[in-house]
């Protein structure tokens, strides 16, 4: 914290937590407040990179719409300010009552992206539930890319991981766009200075193949861009695998040693002839062959997915086939290879050049819906609205939303609204009145990033170097606000419960500091937290992990064609079209609505801020100009977009980068009205079009939030 005279500006090192990318920043602080933010030019991996969102943090911290005090709903539906102490007293007493009346499962929490960017919010929520033995811990992971948490366990985990990005000769990117999202799967291009890093990778000869129905900022840099019909990724991947297998381009020696069932995979993809795949995906056959050869003839580099295919029909299958392609091409780190990321913040695990024996996929607590189970210690957000609305043993009665916005983000908006209204207690921790906060009994005002100590807990396994960073709080707290973990600590204390962490029980007598909590939550990490704190923005070449030899007794192998995967591949052939996975006749719903991200917002958040709002306060429905011509549409026209479940209105905007038959639209816009009368000002939420009980993944419950079959009708032509 500043030691200079109050009016003077002092500069502090921190990192941005607007999104997960954790770009290092210099913060100018005056009178305890941030006044300017810059990238850090000499950072070894970011080299000064920031984006427009991060640079708005000073305005975010002091914006008039920021809640500086918690709020309590009055009986008439309006809100009044309440001190954080009274809010915790009242909420704690209500939770204790709900716990005593209905049992631990009745108290749920949901951490969204606003909590995910806080290195203590997720661990604290998890510990809170463990403290009274409640399974009802939910996060946005299970409406994002949950197949990444389940598919690898079924193929088999290679302890040393798949190839690094740094020396990849080829990258196959299925439905992600790091230029805008700063996101890439492990081994893919990350948001750490993505433009420069991609340019350098291409200079050293890396080939890029992008599969995306839109010619995105990333796709336009690709050597091969395949723009399939959305939702046909499993077919396309099966087609690519067939070319690789038929032409013998896989790693024979590796498969002989490590893959149990290559012949079964060859058999399962045999139906996916080039002609069939090209026609069904509407991609030139030559391009499919060229992509397969380009990928498989390289020595290093991986295939990986983003949110596009992870939200489309058969998302688990697409993830599986992407991993299977990496596996049969032997794209794993071998004995003596170096791991690119440092994996410093979590306990060290063995990194041998072998398959790990354990096979856990969905082994969590049983859900009451659709025979599903929790995955990796959390329950499925795709079921939470029904867990709230369905009476009986285990019904959820209280929900704490930690930095999330269910009303516009969860699948099926109408169902979600019903659930929010049905709760006996809804607590929303958010610094603004979000569409979800409108329904809360209490809105708890949180600290914002610069007021907290943090470590880059999400990027740790994505940094393309063994890099560490840490930030302390660099500004003073505005108002009567609590860090997320403090909310859970205060509530646990009042409920007579505990917060167990890897480092032991949290002291419940005196409230600890952020740093003490980081020590507890990240105890046993590969790099001790004191060392992390002493090493900001540092690459540690001396701590690079080197892959060790396989255990000579290791008998575990990859299974690239388990029975249910083979059965699902046969099913997609029978279906003939992605829409049929949802039980929909594709001829009645000829368009596919795909999700995308926008540079100037993070999901539902950002357009309050002046520079971000100036970039647009609504989510256009981007369409190919030829489709618009066919429907007599021009920019600014209003259409109604119908799925079998519901409809949303969309403001049409022409986009030649979107393939025909596709509407590309960002999610989590609009408000809580189901009729979109303010669509021109605030947009509309595509999540309203989503069904939770059609076409869901049988293991992780993921629903279809992209490649949604839709039809359109004109609502209003603007004056022309």
Ligand X SMILES: Nc1nc2c(c(=O)[nH]1)N[C@H]1C(S)=C(S)[C@@H](COP(=O)(O)OP(=O)(O)OC[C@H]3O[C@@H](n4cnc5c(=O)[nH]c(N)nc54)[C@H](O)[C@@H]3O)O[C@H]1N2
Residues that bind ligand X (CB under 6 A): 19, 112-115, 140, 143-144, 174-178, 180-183, 211-214, 216, 230-231, 233, 306-309, 311-312, 403-406, 409, 429-432, 434, 446, 448-449, 484, 594-599, 601-605, 664, 667-668, 686-687, 690, 705-707
2, 10 contact by CB (below 8 A): yes
* Closest separation in Å from C-beta 181 to ligand SF4: 9
| Cα 102 to Cα 107, 442, 593, distances in angstroms | 9, 21, 41
**Closest separation between CB of residue 471 and ligand SF4, Å?**
12
User: Considering CB distances under 5 to 8 angstroms, the limit depending on partner class, which of Mo ion, ligand X, ligand SF4, none binds residue 150?
Assistant: none
* Total residues belonging to the chain: 720
Q: Which does 50 bind (CB under 5 to 8 A by kind): Mo ion, ligand SF4, ligand X, none?
A: ligand SF4
Pick one of ligand X, Mo ion, ligand SF4, none as the site partner of residue 533 (Cβ within 5 to 8 A by kind). none
CB of 403 to Mo ion, least distance (A): 12
Closer Cβ to ligand X, 259 or 291, answer by number = 291
Rounded to a whole number of angstroms, the minimum distance from the CB of residue 543 to ligand X is: 28
Nearest CA to 655 out of 716, 594, 714, 606 is that of 594
Nearer to ligand SF4, 23 or 492 (CB): 23
> What minimum distance in Å lies between the beta carbon of 141 and ligand X?
8
Structure tokens given for 217 = 């900022």
In this complex, which beta carbon is closest to ligand SF4, that of residue 46 or of residue 489? 46
In the complex with Mo ion, the residue whose CB is nearer, 144 or 514, is 144
Q: How far is the CB of 52 from ligand SF4 (least distance, A)?
A: 7
- Choices 137-145, 361-369, 400-408, 573-581 (CB under 5 A): range interacting with Mo ion: 137-145
Closest by CA position to 595, among listed 683, 708, 681 = 708
- Residue 193 or 691: which CB sits closer to ligand SF4? 193
Which one, of 596, 597, 620, 623, lies nearest residue 682 by Cα?
A: 620
CB of 85 to ligand X, least distance (A): 18
Report how far apart, in Å, the C-alpha atoms of 383 and of each of 143, 374, 411, 415, 653 are. Answer: 10, 10, 9, 11, 34
Does position 404 interact with Mo ion (CB under 5 A)? The reply is no
Tokens of residue 681, six digits: 């000002």
Distance CA 247, CA 284 (A): 19
Q: Could you write out the DSSP letters of every residue in 547-577? A: PBPPPTT----B-SS-HHHHHHHHHHHHH-S
Rounded to whole angstroms, the Cα distance separating 21 from 19 reads 6
- 126: exposed, middle or buried (Cβ count in 10 Å: 0-12, 13-18, 19+): buried
Question: Alpha carbon of 598 to those of 53, 495, 515, 595, 667: distances in Å?
Answer: 11, 41, 34, 10, 9
DSSP string, 416-439: HHHHHHH-SEEEEE-SS--TTGGG
Binding residues for ligand SF4, rule: CB under 6 A, are 16, 18-19, 21-23, 50-51, 53-54, 182, 191
- Measured from the CB atom, is 53 or 148 closer to ligand SF4? 53
From the list 140-148, 151-159, 197-205, 564-572, the region that binds Mo ion by CB under 5 A is 140-148
Kindly state the smallest distance separating residue 630's Cβ from ligand X, in Å.
21
Rounded least distance, CB 251 to ligand X, Å:
25
Which of 144, 319, 430, 627 lies at the binding interface for Mo ion (CB under 5 A)?
144
Contact partner at residue 54 from Mo ion, ligand SF4, ligand X, none, CB < 5 to 8 Å by partner kind: ligand SF4
- For residue 532, count CB atoms less than 10 angstroms from its CB and return exposed for 0-12, middle for 13-18, buried for 19 or more: buried
Q: Which residues lie near Mo ion (CB under 5 A)?
A: 144
């Amino acid at each position: 914290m500043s030691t200079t005279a109050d009016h003077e500006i002092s500069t502090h090192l921190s990192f941005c937590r607007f999104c997960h990318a954790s770009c290092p920043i210099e913060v100018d602080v005056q009178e305890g407040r941030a006044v300017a933010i810059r990238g850090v030019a000499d950072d070894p991996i970011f080299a000064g990179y920031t984006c427009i969102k991060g640079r708005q943090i000073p305005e975010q911290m002091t914006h008039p719409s920021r809640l500086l005090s918690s709020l309590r709903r009055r009986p008439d539906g309006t809100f009044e300010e309440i001190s954080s102490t009274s809010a915790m007293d009242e909420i704690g007493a209500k939770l204790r009552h709900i716990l005593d009346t209905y049992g631990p499962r009745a108290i749920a929490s949901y951490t969204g992206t606003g909590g995910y960017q806080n290195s203590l919010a997720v661990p604290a929520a998890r510990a809170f539930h463990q403290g009274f033995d409640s399974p009802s811990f939910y996060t946005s992971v299970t409406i994002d890319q949950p197949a990444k948490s389940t598919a690898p366990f079924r193929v088999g985990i290679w302890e040393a991981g798949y190839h690094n990005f740094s020396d990849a000769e080829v990258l196959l990117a299925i439905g992600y766009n790091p230029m805008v999202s700063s996101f890439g799967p492990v081994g893919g291009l990350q948001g750490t200075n993505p433009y420069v890093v991609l340019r350098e990778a291409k200079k050293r000869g890396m080939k890029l193949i992008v599969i995306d129905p839109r010619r995105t900022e990333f796709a336009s840099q690709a050597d091969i861009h395949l723009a399939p019909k959305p939702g046909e990724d499993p077919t396309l991947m099966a087609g690519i695998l067939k070319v690789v297998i038929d032409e013998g381009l896989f790693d024979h020696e590796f498969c002989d040693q490590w893959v149990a069932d290559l012949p079964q995979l060859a058999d399962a993809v045999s139906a996916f002839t080039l002609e069939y795949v090209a026609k069904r995906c509407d991609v030139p056959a030559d391009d499919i062959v060229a992509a397969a050869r380009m990928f498989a003839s390289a020595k290093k580099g991986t295939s990986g997915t983003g949110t596009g295919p992870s939200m489309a029909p058969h998302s688990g299958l697409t993830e599986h086939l992407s991993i299977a392609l990496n596996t049969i091409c032997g794209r794993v780190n071998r004995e003596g290879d170096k791991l690119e990321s440092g994996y410093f913040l979590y306990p060290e695990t063995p990194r041998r050049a072998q398959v790990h024996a354990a096979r856990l996929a969905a082994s969590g607590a049983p859900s009451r819906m659709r025979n599903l189970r929790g995955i990796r210690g959390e329950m499925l957000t795709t079921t939470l609205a029904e867990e709230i609305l369905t009476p009986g043993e285990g019904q959820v009665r209280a929900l704490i939303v930690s930095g999330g916005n269910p009303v516009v983000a969860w699948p099926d908006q109408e169902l979600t609204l019903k659930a929010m209204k049905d709760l006996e207690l809804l607590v929303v921790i958010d610094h603004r009145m979000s569409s979800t906060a409108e329904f809360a009994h209490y809105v708890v005002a949180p600290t914002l990033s610069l007021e907290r100590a943090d470590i880059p807990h999400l990027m740790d396994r994505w940094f393309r170097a063994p890099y560490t960073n840490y930030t302390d709080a660099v500004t003073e707290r505005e108002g009567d606000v609590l860090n997320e973990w403090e909310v859970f600590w205060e509530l646990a204390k009042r409920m007579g419960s505990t917060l167990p962490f890897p480092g032991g029980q949290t002291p419940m007598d005196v409230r600890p500091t952020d740093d003490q909590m980081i020590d507890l939550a990240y105890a046993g990490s590969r790099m001790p937290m004191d060392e992390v704190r002493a090493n900001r923005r540092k690459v540690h070449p001396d701590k690079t992990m080197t892959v060790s030899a396989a255990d000579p007794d290791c008998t575990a192998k990859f299974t690239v064609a388990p029975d249910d995967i083979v059965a699902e591949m046969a099913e997609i052939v029978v279906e003939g079209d992605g829409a049929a996975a949802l039980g929909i006749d594709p001829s009645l719903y000829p368009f596919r609505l795909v999700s995308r991200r926008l540079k100037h917002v993070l999901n539902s958040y950002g357009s309050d801020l002046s520079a971000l709002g100036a970039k647009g306060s609504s989510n256009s429905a981007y369409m190919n100009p030829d489709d618009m011509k066919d429907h007599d549409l021009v920019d600014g026209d209003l259409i109604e977009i119908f799925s079998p479940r519901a409809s949303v209105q969309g403001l049409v905007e022409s986009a030649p980068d979107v393939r025909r038959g596709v509407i590309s639209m960002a999610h989590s816009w609009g408000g809580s009205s189901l009729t979109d009368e303010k669509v021109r000002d605030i947009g509309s939420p595509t999540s309203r079009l989503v069904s939770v009980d059609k076409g869901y993944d049988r293991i992780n419950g993921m629903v279809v939030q992209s490649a949604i079959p839709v039809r359109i009708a004109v609502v209003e032509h603007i004056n022309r």
